[in-house]
Amino acid sequence: PTVTFTDSEGNQRTVDATAGDSVMETAVRNGVTGIVAECGGSLSCATCHVFVDDEDLDKLPEMEDMEDEMLYGTTEDRRPNSRLSCQLPVEDGTDLHVTTPKTQV
């Protein structure tokens, strides 16, 4: 699978991902800017905020309450397609596309 990251200026980068990793881990491993992930994936920092392409939203697990709450503490305001990338698993056969927030660098 691959994950494509677009930054707020429209620069796009597609990286190979490993099934079972999160989108956040994929970003960190590949040095993708725009995902800070201060807490390392324990759902307590909200610095792994991404906007998921609408057509990919259905491919992801539903949001838990905790993620929903954390999304109110992001540096750039949440939108209907906001998710925390540490909660998004990469799966075989599924390519994902996300945009990183402008303020999260």
Interacting residues toward ligand FES by CB under 6 A: 24, 37-39, 41, 43-48, 70, 84, 86
The dihedral of CA 100, 68, 89, 48: what is its sign? positive
Spacing of C-alpha 6 from chain mean position:
11
The two structure tokens encoding residue 101: 């927030």
Q: How far is the CB of 42 from ligand FES (least distance, A)?
A: 6
Q: How far is the CB of 18 from ligand FES (least distance, A)?
A: 17
- What is the Rg, in whole angstroms, of the alpha carbon atoms belonging to the chain? 12
16 vs 38 by CB, closer to ligand FES: 38
50 vs 97 by CB, closer to ligand FES: 50
